[in-house]
Amino acid sequence: MSDERILKFHILRFNPQVKGDVPTMKTYEVKEAPGMTIFIALNDIRETQDPSLQFDFICRAGICGSCAMIINGRPDLACRTLTSKFPDGEIKLLPLPGFELIGDLSVNTGKFMRAMSERVESWIHDTYADSVDLDRLEERMDPDIADQIYELERCVECGCCISACATKRMRDGFLGAVGFMRLARYALDPRDKRSDEEFYEIIGDDDGVFGCMTLLGCQDYCPKDLPHQTQIAYLRRKMALVK
Amino acid sequence: MKVIYTDSLIIGGGLAGLRTAIATRQRGYDSIILSLMPAKRSHSAAAQGGMQASLGASVKGEGDNEDVHFEDTVKGSDWGCDQDVARMFVNTAPKAIRQLCAWGVPWSRVRKGDREVVINGQKVTITEKDENHGLITSRDFGGTKKWRTCYTSDGAGHTMLYAMDNKAIELGIQVHERKEAVALIHEDGVCYGAVVRDLITGELLAYVAKATVIATGGYGRLYAVTTNAVISEGIGNAIALETGVAPLGNMEAVQFHPTAIVPVGILTTEGCRGDGGLLLDKDGYRFMPDYEPGKKELASRDVVSRRMTEHIRKGKGVPSRYGDHLWLDITLLGRAHIEKNLREVKEICEYFLGIDPVKEYIPVRPTQHYSMGGVRTKPTGESPTLKGLFAAGEASCWDMHGFNRLGGNSVAETVVAGMIVGEYVADYCASNPLKIDTELIEKFVNQEQEKISTLLSRDKGESAFALKKEMQQIMMDKVGIFRNEADLSKAVEELKVLHQKSKNIALRYKVRAANPELVEAIRVPKMIRLAQCVAYGAMLRKESRGAHSREDYPERNDRDWLKRTLTFWKNEDEDLPEVKYEELNIMKMEIAPGARGYGVDNTIHHPDTEKRLAEIEEIKKTNPSADRFELQRLLNPIEIPEKFRGKNERIGIGFK
Ligand SMILES: Cc1cc2nc3c(=O)[nH]c(=O)nc-3n(C[C@H](O)[C@H](O)[C@H](O)COP(=O)(O)OP(=O)(O)OC[C@H]3O[C@@H](n4cnc5c(N)ncnc54)[C@H](O)[C@@H]3O)c2cc1C
Ligand code: SF4
Ligand code: SF4
Ligand code: FES
């Protein structure tokens, strides 16, 4: 029965590269197939109905974080969203807010994330890291710490948390959950020699953790289920102790 | 015309490209990375399983060293690899992983004491040594003698790529995102950079560099179903091919991974079987021990994929609306293990199949996975015929994988190649001035501009999407796991027709900027040429070696085929590549050709094999006191950049 469904995709269309183009919602009908994801459906639309439709998929397996968009009001990874999830077959797609629009459903998360990485200095700070003798045994690490770091490093830079953040909407300079998570990851890592004061420099103001209203849109929509609530609380406590 | 200058232009922001850029940057040369997408989204992120490096810290890795890794790699390649390169690789891999450790990868660590693992379907307790606690641990993977694959829970590629990109950001290396290299600029056998299309504005740019590096990943998307990302379309290989000067190597060597989910082809990592998962048929019967009593599910990938296909052909597959498949059973590993070390697999099963792999079997089938072929290079990473053009990672045929690569050896290759090739790229930058010949640059940019204008102005013609689909289906049906003359020659003929048609692509959406149809129209003719290199190379190679398996020539034929296929495409009007062969010199091999240890050995040997075996024996006899390092130098003296020549320390063994 469900094989025969006709899905209705309502998609925001806008190509800022084309002079005079204005944003409009357009509707496309697609015959549903078993196991169909939004990735499959959008490609089908591009191939058979409208070759100009822009969107970003790379891994199509929920791994690379390219394909976040607003799906019926919720930010999520489109590649792993099955169309069967929507009982009425109506699917409304909007580009992720909070990022520069490239066109249609494609946004420039890359530029944003690079800036975020530069801002939090998303790398191990250790003056000796480049003089490590590569022939010798590596520095040991507690297996639990390694696992915990990995837990915080699972972020795929999809941007869902940014699009769901009320503070970010009001304050352009607000770092956002993805940045907090990145910082928490380095704060936990014994290989990073930065002091709390140095972290404070980065996030100890209203554009940092003290601006966060803890409404936790980030936690609700993070497709990798990262522990935003605990980490934001942890960073706040840590930063409160600095001053 | 916008021209951007740099010392080294790195095309590709995956692990290989990033590491190469870091190496050249650290030597003081400016490098720019081009990428279709943000670097962190490169397909390297998808590697869940891990990276091979012979650290030997886990108890099941004890006794491991470069030599064991070397032997596994050479056997895995079915003696098709370049043993010099494989040697450089195994000796450097431990350093690569330790460096990544210093750069932030949270590698999973050895935990002292008992732990329960599943080996050969049985729960077994193994005990990790106290003194190894906290060192990088490893898991089992196919085709390896030791547990050598180091990992980060279920996200090795992700954590490696993030650490690498973060390092590049620290060094201030620019990544020019959403830029696609569409042609190389070259003249008289020297490469000077690339013509690049901005995927947002549609503008064509010239990037002019001393050295150009292709690190664009694999060409899995020549096939309709593949584990590869949608951007793994081989365009980097194609632009090298289109120079007519740089050859591609062994394009017919295409790997099929045993366990991708049906129907969409998303991978479930080899870690599933490495950690103890089993393959079952429609009767719930574990069939692999019948075929491969030794390594069973953990035989080399090409072997397992063929055995699965054979078993399905015997009617033992599970029928489904998408054709027959088999089951991957990881239920025996238990919830705790799956949720920690195979979580990505669990997510994939939940999202794409709607099943819980803790309780249910996973439907799997062998699926295109890895491209052993690519831009042919010397051990330095430079093209043998186009100076200043280098390649690294999956896009290259540096050739440490020969006709089959081992799981975990690929991300390891990307990093090691980045380190080694990066040094040679820096050397090249040091000894070659930046040549700027505006006329030449303009000629190449105009050529591409014209092609695009033609595409945009053609009223009626072929659909790029349709041609691509046809090509992908031809590759699936006729250039797959098992190959034969009849199918291959049909494929070659059909691809010729497609190649002709691809000269007549017309667009429905005639806009220069941000136009996905135009992107497709530019890529598809390139992809068809690559597909032809694969199909034609496969048709000509009348033997079976590694992943290239001919039903009509089932034996590995060292006598006639111990050679590397080189394909050139000198003229765009031709429908077939020019094919040459490069002999592999047995008399220089550290390990002379032998049996891999799977099924019946029906190798047709080369007369040199016996000679070399005798010679090796002789060398060993005349140097009775030589340790393993001296022996290696005697048998396989290799050039390796100074900084990577040191011996590797191992716990409990030291530098021995
Ligand atoms: C699902 C999956 C799982 C895997 N798991 C493992 C594993 O566990 N262990 C292992 O060893 N190997 C694994 N592999 C293989 C391994 O991940 C890849 O071979 C390796 O990561 C390739 O890295 P790379 O740097 O060569 O290329 P990629 O990471 O593919 O990067 C290619 C880069 O090139 C850019 N690019 C491409 N074309 C152009 C162009 N024309 N212009 C500009 N830029 C371009 C892209 O944007 C990208 O940045 C796996 C592969 C897959 C598909
Ligand atoms: S908790 Fe803070 S970071 Fe998360 S969505 Fe709310 S304001 Fe944004
Ligand atoms: S924290 Fe979660 S929602 Fe935010 S970018 Fe990372 S994965 Fe996406
Ligand atoms: S395409 Fe990679 S996460 Fe969706």
pLDDT value at position B132? 97
pLDDT value at position B300? 87
**DSSP secondary structure letters along A28-76:** EEEE--TT-BHHHHHHHHHHHT-TT-----SSSSSSS---EEEETTEEE
Which residues in chain A (166-225) have CB-CB distances under 8 A to chain B?
189, 191-192
Q: B62: CA distance to ligand 2 center in Å?
A: 47
Mean pLDDT for all residues in chain B: 96
Q: A78: CA distance to ligand 4 center in Å?
A: 7
CB contact under 8 A, B159 and A153: yes
Q: Say whether the ipTM exceeds 0.95.
A: yes
CA B466 to chain centre: 27
B164 contacts B19 by C-beta, under 8 angstroms: yes
Residue B99 has pLDDT above 80, yes or no: yes
CB contact under 8 A, B102 and A138: yes
pTM of the model: 0.97
At B26, is the pLDDT very low, low, confident or very high (cuts 50, 70, 90)? very high
B25 catalytic per annotation: no
B605 catalytic per annotation: no
Whose CA is closest to B624, among B636, B610, B634, B614? B634
Residue B572 has pLDDT above 90, yes or no: no
Q: Which protein residue has the closest C-alpha to ligand 3 atom 7?
A: A155
Tens digits of residue pLDDT in A29-84: 999 988 899 999 999 999 999 999 999 999 999 999 999 999 999 999 999 999 99
pLDDT value at position B599? 82
**DSSP secondary structure letters along A186-221:** HHH-TT----HHHHHHHHSSTTTGGG-----HHHHH
B328 contacts B364 by C-beta, under 8 angstroms: yes
* Ranges A1-5, A115-119, B386-390: which has the least confidence: A1-5
Q: Which atom of ligand 3 is nearest to the CA of A164?
A: 3
CB contact under 8 A, A135 and B95: yes
User: Among A14, A43, A52, A67, which would you mutate to test the B interface (most chain B Cβ atoms within 10 Å of its Cβ)?
Assistant: A52
What does residue A205 show for φ and ψ, rounded to 5 degrees?
-145, -170
Tens digits of residue pLDDT in A143-164: 999 999 999 999 999 999 999 9
3-state class (DSSP) for residue B523: helix
Q: Which of B273, B307, B405, B499 is catalytic?
A: B273
Q: B211 vs B141, which has greater pLDDT?
A: B211
Q: Which of B25, B186, B197, B257 is catalytic?
A: B257
Q: The dihedral of CA A152, A154, A157, A161: what is its sign? A: negative
At A1, is the pLDDT very low, low, confident or very high (cuts 50, 70, 90)? very low
Tens digits of residue pLDDT in B294-317: 999 999 889 999 999 999 999 999
Mean pLDDT for all residues in chain A: 94
Tens digits of residue pLDDT in B599-652: 888 899 999 999 999 999 999 999 999 999 999 999 999 999 999 999 999 999
**DSSP secondary structure letters along B261-291:** ETTT--B--THHHHTT-EEE-TTS-B-HHHH
Q: Is A237 left (phi over 0), alpha (psi -120 to 50) or beta?
A: alpha
Mean pLDDT of the A123-135 span: 91
Determine the angle formed by the axes of helices B156-170 and B409-431, rounding to 10 degrees: 20
In B, which residues are within 8 Å of A194 by CB distance?
none
| Distance separating alpha carbons of residues B51 and B160, to the nearest angstrom | 9
Which amino acid, residue B417? Answer: A
CB contact under 8 A, A58 and B108: no
Q: A63: CA distance to ligand 4 center in Å?
A: 6
DSSP letter for B580, please.
Answer: E
Residue B410 CB partners (closer than 8 Å, separation 6+): B47, B370, B394, B401
- Which residue is closest to A137 within chain B, CA to CA? B649
Q: B353: CA distance to ligand 4 center in Å?
A: 16
Tens digits of residue pLDDT in B244-272: 999 999 999 999 999 999 988 999 988 89
3-state class (DSSP) for residue B50: coil
Query: Does any CB of chain B come closer than 8 Å to the CB of residue A20?
Result: no
| Distance separating alpha carbons of residues B21 and B214, to the nearest angstrom | 11
Q: Is B354 left (phi over 0), alpha (psi -120 to 50) or beta?
A: left
Strand B278-280 to B254-261 pairing: unpaired
In A, which residues are within 8 Å of B111 by CB distance?
143
Range list of β-strands (E), B79-203? 113-119, 122-128, 149-150, 174-177, 179-187, 190-198
In B, which residues are within 8 Å of A122 by CB distance?
166, 169
Q: Which protein residue has the closest C-alpha to ligand 2 atom 3?
A: A177
Residue A201 has pLDDT above 50, yes or no: yes
What stretch of H or E contains B345?
helix B343-348
pLDDT value at position A232? 94
DSSP letter for B313, please.
Answer: I
User: Shortest Cα distance from A163 to chain B (angstroms)?
Assistant: 18
Above pLDDT 70, what percent of chain B?
Answer: 100
